[in-house]
């Protein structure tokens, strides 16, 4: 799909709507009392602060002309008090709003992460992981201020404007009317520029997402990049992405700054008209105190307007982030429990495929009318060419994808009708990717069973012959593993993943190319552990080395989405069909390799 590339902009699946804003206020509403208290502090501080120009007016028109020193001192003390109260209340409000903002970041990010963990594999198959990561980290950080401080400041500035208008009309109604006359011009301009702003910031987010996706891909593929001497070419690619990002950013800034420029220009024109009107248009001329007070109020009136314009710019940017965040949150968790799903009871391990057809994309079937039954304790090997559907079969047993045609049943229960937790908790799965998490060796083995003791962890490692290499590490089982198992060989990582699966003690075991990265001598030792693990468990084994599956209860040869042959190793060899030719060709290649080594 086109969106699964770092150099292609993402397209929003659905346009932003007001329902998303309602979701936003759910997060804000959790901390409404702190927000309300902050609002009250700001309102009181604002009212107290707005009395300042009136105190100055009285000083200029009364105290100074009458040389009333006592009144002037009183007015000065009151003015200082209003300033201190305003500063104190705003400081408390700033702390409260910062707390609210961080709480909102925590809640949104946690909900987003929780939802990502239940999304189907297909969601990750179709998107660069860097474009997903940027939503969880950067976008959530970017909206926190708009959802806490931004909302509060918006309300506060509206209140300030109302109070300022009230005080202005108390001082001079004609000059107050001139002050507010420019407001409709600014409002009309903001409404006209809004669609262009939204598109501009969406473009910026797309370019940021592309850069993030490419950088993450380059970090993960660092070894390949250096091996093929691709550093210079990758630098050019990043330069192109950064140039597009810079161009998009500057375009968004130009558009956003027009709001600020228009607001500032109108405010300065109105500010000048207040002084001109007060000094020349009125007869008699207004007093100096009135003119000074109105000039202060006019400045204070347009400052909230300018602030609102900036808040509006931030909000438009935040909306573009919220569109991406809620697009992810609204992504349906296709693999989820049905409303009437039942808990799967402790299983014996019988597995049955009933006429199952499946494809990852509509109209492209990977499995075609697959049917078979495995009895408890049987070991089923699945072999065949690449892309035949081997991994798809085991993925459907674990219900990593929904089954629309046919049924997969465990002990007679359809996997679609039971809870996912009760299903997967009784299965042990080792996929082709032997993923190792950052943490200790013991933590990685204990990952699938957190209540396992240290002795049980060590026993699992010994059964898989991983204990020896673990004890040779600097801190043994307490050795810290780097991200993605850095510092360990691929074979060592696979042994750890195997021990992790063994420790979970599953009733159904899935091994997908479990020994693909282990050398032949180690594989022989591991095979002994596998044989112990397979005992009394139903198992499905996908292996590229056919010598490891000779003792399986049954071998199924899968090709073109169908089971073309099924039987024991001896039965299939005697038949001299597809499995026979596959086995013999591999046997001959291994013989040639051994001869060449000699």
In this structure, the answer to whether residues 94 and 186 fall within a common structural domain is yes
Around 123, how many Cα atoms within 13 Å sit in the side-chain half-sphere?
Answer: 18
Q: How far is it, in rounded angstroms, from Cα 547 to Cα 539? A: 17
Residue 120 burial class via C-beta count within 10 angstroms: exposed 0-12, middle 13-18, buried 19 and up: middle
373 and 445 housed in the same domain: no
Residue 561 CA to residue 358 CA, distance in Å, equals 9
pLDDT the model gives residue 323 = 76
Count of alpha carbons within 13 Å of 125, Cβ hemisphere only?
8
Q: What is the pTM of this model?
A: 0.62
Together in a domain, 304 and 447: no
**By the 8 A CB rule, do 180 and 301 touch?**
yes
Whether residues 35 and 158 fall in one domain: yes
Give the per-residue pLDDT at 17: 60
The Cα–Cα gap between 433 and 220 comes to 14
In a domain, 527, yes or no: no
Radius of gyration over every alpha carbon of the chain, rounded to an integer in angstroms: 35
Helices 183-220, 231-276: crossing angle, 10 deg rounding: 170
pLDDT of residue 507: 87
Select from 329, 351, 374 the last residue of a domain.
Answer: 329
Domain boundary among 329, 352, 372: 329
d(CA 186, CA 266): 8
215 shares a domain with 201 = yes
CATH code: domain of residue 422? 3.40.50.300
Are 171 and 284 in the same domain?
yes
Going by C-alpha positions, the residue among 132, 405, 170, 205 that lies closest to residue 297 is 170
Candidates 235, 502, 151, 549; CA nearest to 379 is 549
Same domain, 421 and 438: no
Q: Mean pLDDT for each consecutive 10-residue tract of the chain (598 residues)?
A: 56 57 78 83 77 77 82 85 84 81 84 85 74 78 71 77 81 80 80 78 80 79 74 86 89 81 79 74 68 75 75 73 80 83 90 92 86 92 88 88 90 92 85 74 84 88 83 87 69 80 84 65 63 80 80 91 92 92 80 56
Number of domains present in the structure of the chain: 3
The reply to whether 532 falls in a domain is no
- Same domain? For 199 and 346 the reply is no
How much is the pLDDT for 321? 76
- Cα angle value 275/278/282 (rounded, 5°): 150
d(CA 490, CA 496): 10
CA angle 75, 80, 82 (to 5 degrees): 95
- Name the 3-class secondary structure at 369: strand
417 in Cβ contact with 576 (< 8 Å): no
Residues 78 and 211 in one domain: yes
Nearest to 500 by CA among 545, 439, 438, 456: 456
Range of the domain at 125: 18-329
Quick one: 365 and 387 in the same domain?
yes
Residues 86 and 22 in one domain: yes
If asked whether residues 201 and 303 sit together in one domain, one would say: yes
Q: Read off the CATH number of the domain in which 279 is found.
A: 1.20.1560.10
């Amino acid at each position: 799909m086109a969106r699964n590339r770092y150099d292609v902009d993402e397209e929003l699946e659905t346009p932003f709507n007001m329902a998303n804003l309602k979701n936003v206020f759910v997060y804000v509403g959790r901390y409404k009392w702190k927000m309300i208290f902050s609002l009250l502090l700001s309102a009181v501080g604002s009212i107290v602060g707005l009395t300042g120009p009136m105190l100055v007016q009285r000083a200029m028109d009364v105290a100074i002309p009458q040389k009333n020193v006592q009144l002037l001192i009183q007015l000065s003390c009151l003015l200082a008090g209003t300033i201190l109260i305003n500063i104190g209340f705003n400081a408390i409000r700033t702390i409260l709003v910062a707390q609210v903002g961080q709480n909102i970041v925590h809640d949104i990010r946690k909900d987003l992460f929780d939802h990502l963990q239940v999304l189907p594999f297909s969601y990750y198959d179709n998107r660069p992981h860097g474009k997903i990561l940027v939503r969880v980290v950067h976008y959530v950080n970017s909206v926190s201020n708009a959802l806490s401080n931004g909302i509060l400041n918006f309300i506060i500035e509206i209140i300030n404007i109302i109070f300022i208008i009230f005080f202005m009309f108390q001082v001079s109604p004609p000059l107050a009317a001139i002050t507010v006359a420019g407001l409709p011009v600014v409002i009309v301009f903001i409404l006209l520029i809004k669609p262009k702003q939204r598109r501009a910031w969406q473009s910026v987010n797309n370019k940021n997402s592309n850069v993030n996706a490419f950088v993450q891909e380059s970090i993960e593929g660092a070894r390949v990049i250096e091996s093929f001497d691709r550093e210079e070419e990758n630098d050019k690619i990043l330069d192109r992405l950064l140039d597009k990002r810079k161009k998009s950013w500057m375009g968004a800034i130009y558009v956003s700054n027009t709001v600020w420029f228009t607001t500032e220009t109108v405010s300065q024109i109105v500010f000048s008209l207040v002084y001109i009107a007060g000094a020349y248009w009125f007869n008699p001329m207004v007093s100096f105190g009135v003119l000074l007070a109105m000039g202060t109020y006019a400045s204070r009136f347009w400052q909230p307007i300018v602030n609102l314009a900036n808040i509006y710019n931030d909000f438009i940017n935040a909306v573009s982030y919220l569109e991406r965040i809620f697009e992810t949150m609204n992504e349906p968790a296709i693999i989820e429990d049905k409303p009437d799903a039942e808990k799967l009871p402790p299983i014996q391990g019988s597995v049955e495929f009933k006429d199952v057809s499946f494809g990852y994309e509509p109209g492209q079937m990977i499995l075609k009318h697959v049917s078979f039954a495995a009895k408890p304790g049987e070991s089923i090997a699945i072999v065949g060419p690449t892309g035949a559907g081997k991994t798809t079969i085991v993925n459907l047993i674990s219900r990593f994808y929904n089954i629309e045609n046919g049924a997969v049943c465990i002990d007679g229960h359809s996997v679609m009708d039971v809870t996912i937790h009760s299903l997967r908790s009784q299965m042990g799965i080792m996929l082709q990717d032997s993923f190792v998490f950052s943490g200790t060796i013991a933590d990685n083995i204990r990952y699938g069973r957190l209540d396992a003791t240290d002795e049980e962890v060590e026993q699992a490692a010994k059964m898989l012959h991983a204990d020896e290499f673990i004890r040779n590490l600097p801190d043994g089982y307490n050795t810290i593993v780097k991200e993605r198992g850095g510092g360990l060989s691929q074979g060592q990582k696979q042994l750890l993943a195997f021990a992790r699966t063994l420790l979970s003690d599953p009733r159904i075991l899935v091994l997908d190319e479990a020994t693909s990265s282990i050398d032949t001598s180690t594989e022989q030792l591991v095979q002994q552990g596998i044989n112990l693990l397979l005992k009394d468990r139903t198992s499905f084994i996908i292996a590229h080395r056919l010598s490891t599956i000779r003792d399986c209860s049954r071998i199924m040869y899968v090709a073109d989405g169908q089971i073309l042959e099924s039987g024991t190793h001896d039965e299939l060899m005697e038949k001299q069909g597809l499995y026979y030719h596959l086995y013999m060709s591999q046997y001959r290649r291994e013989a040639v390799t051994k001869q060449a080594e000699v």
